[in-house]
Amino acid sequence: MAQETTIDQLKNYVSAEVTLSGWIHHSRPGGKICFIVLRDGTGFCQLVIEKNEQTAAFYDDIKRLSQESAMEATGTVHADARSIGGYEVRVTHARPLQPARDYPITPKQHGIDFLMKHRHLWFRSQRPWHVLRIRATIVDQIRRFFNDNGYLLIDTPIFAPAAGEGAQTLFKVDYFGEPVYLAQTGQLYLEAACMAHRKVYCFGPTFRAEKSKTRRHLTEFWMVEPELAFAALDDVIAVAEDFICSIVDRVLRDHREELTALGRNLTELEAIKKPFYRLSYEQCIEILHGPKAKALLEADLQIKQARIEELTKKIDELDSLIKGDASQWKKDQAAGEVIEVREERAELQEQIGNIPHHMELAKNFEWGGDLGGSDETIISRLHDRPVFCTHYPKGVKAFYMRESREDARVVENFDLLAPQGFGEIIGGSAREEDYDRLLARINHEHLPQADYEWYLDLRRFGSVPHGGFGLGVERTVAWICGLKHIRETIPFPRMMGKFYP
């Protein structure tokens, strides 16, 4: 009797007979032999079906099945290093479960807009499959890290009466006739919880009405936020450092194959070890004004220009192939490829257009401004390990951040920048524990005091130094997987103007 199993278990069934059920990822049918790459949700595996007396009854039915048809196959497992996944199954029996017709995502390249509109199907392709598995591991490691280190999970509300971060990114919702907002952070509630449980964390979806269409912004993203009572800025930074190392170690332990398939440079990830770099805001400005930042952007300009020329040549070649008398199959292939190449070129052209602006921004950066995306990218590209940037001017940071007792112009905060240009993945701070200073900040920011009375209570009754941070899951997944854009790191991304499917 053949054993019903899944592709990830084939290693336990070498030379034995198994039954697999799954979907056709790719099929190469022939008159005498048919090769099928089957995927079953747990992996990919090659099926080999030879036409002979035993298979004649079903051979033609299976041969006709196209991409994404569901089928079942029984056969003997053979280890084969050249095969996808390392095993192949020589089929003795098979049956179609549901034939699919005209599956829209074919092995040829498609543009990102097309893929995003077909996200519900694109899921099945190898690249999203790898990314979402790595995401699941990162989420698991996040929970493990906090659960194993004495933090209590606190589920904070999603309907919030007031802003937790900037008022300009609030999503307003009608709550039985009254306005409430979708949570931008669970932090304020966590501060209440840490005075009850000392070490706490929340983990859930977070909403920001970001009107920017950047590669780093979603309107719905997942954030994990720990909060610790009796903690100073350095204590919070130390937690963030251990936390990031634990995530990277875990992904490297469990997902080397997936990372390699995604083209991620493993050596870069292996270099993520303590201690991370620490730069004050002032030091960040020095870097932005310095020769290394300028040289980096100038080199960028040249590299990108050269690449654009290369791509333009490629587009011309593909266009003439499409117009010429190549086979229809080759023309289709080229038509798909040209979309991708054009997209890459358009992206580079936009980036090149921005470089002079980024140079100006860096050169003219003045004390008091917030570090923008391009500034962060410069700093992050000049480092091979994550960088803590600390002590930003009060004016550009949230009202709850603790004023530095050494320099009242700045707050005790940090942003953690992932290296190699990925930019900010964590924002955190010590919180203002002093009632008068906090109230002054609330008033200075023209926040409605009544909405924050409960929060002020935390400073009225046994207020102690405390702090925490928030890590954005999608930005972390993008960095670890080496993805340019955050939209591929969440099952169904929500961005400005994009909420289908």
- Site residues (CB under 6 A) for ligand 4AD? 164-165, 185, 187, 208, 210, 217-218, 221, 223, 225, 424-429, 468-470, 472, 474-475
In the complex, the smallest distance separating the C-beta of residue 471 from ligand 4AD, rounded to whole angstroms, is 6
Length of the chain: 501
Q: Is 348 exposed, middle or buried (0-12, 13-18, 19+ CB in 10 A)?
A: middle
* CB closer to ligand 4AD out of 128 and 226: 226
CB 16 within 8 A of CB 90: no
C-alpha 146/C-alpha 357 separation (Å) is 41
In the complex, the smallest distance separating the C-beta of residue 470 from ligand 4AD, rounded to whole angstroms, is 3
* CB closer to ligand 4AD out of 69 and 185: 185
* CB closer to ligand 4AD out of 128 and 164: 164
* CB closer to ligand 4AD out of 353 and 497: 497
* CB closer to ligand 4AD out of 85 and 419: 419
* CB closer to ligand 4AD out of 18 and 233: 233
* CB closer to ligand 4AD out of 208 and 381: 208
Pairing of strands 387-390, 413-418: antiparallel
3-state secondary structure of 388: strand
In the complex, the smallest distance separating the C-beta of residue 86 from ligand 4AD, rounded to whole angstroms, is 36
In the complex, the smallest distance separating the C-beta of residue 232 from ligand 4AD, rounded to whole angstroms, is 14
194: part of which helix (H) or strand (E)?
helix 187-197
Query: Which of 442, 432, 427, 367 has its CA nearest to residue 404?
Result: 432
In the complex, the smallest distance separating the C-beta of residue 111 from ligand 4AD, rounded to whole angstroms, is 23
Query: Which of 348, 342, 352, 349 has its CA nearest to residue 111?
Result: 342
In the complex, the smallest distance separating the C-beta of residue 99 from ligand 4AD, rounded to whole angstroms, is 40
C-alpha 85, offset from chain centre: 25
In the complex, the smallest distance separating the C-beta of residue 434 from ligand 4AD, rounded to whole angstroms, is 18
In the DSSP assignment, the letter for residue 420 is T
CB 297 within 8 A of CB 362: yes
Pairing of strands 159-160, 220-229: unpaired
* CB closer to ligand 4AD out of 221 and 399: 221
Q: How many helices (H) and strands (E) are present in the chain, helices listed first?
A: 15, 17
In the complex, the smallest distance separating the C-beta of residue 405 from ligand 4AD, rounded to whole angstroms, is 20
C-alpha 187/C-alpha 455 separation (Å) is 11
Annotate 277-294 with DSSP letters as a single string. Answer: EEEEHHHHHHHHHSHHHH
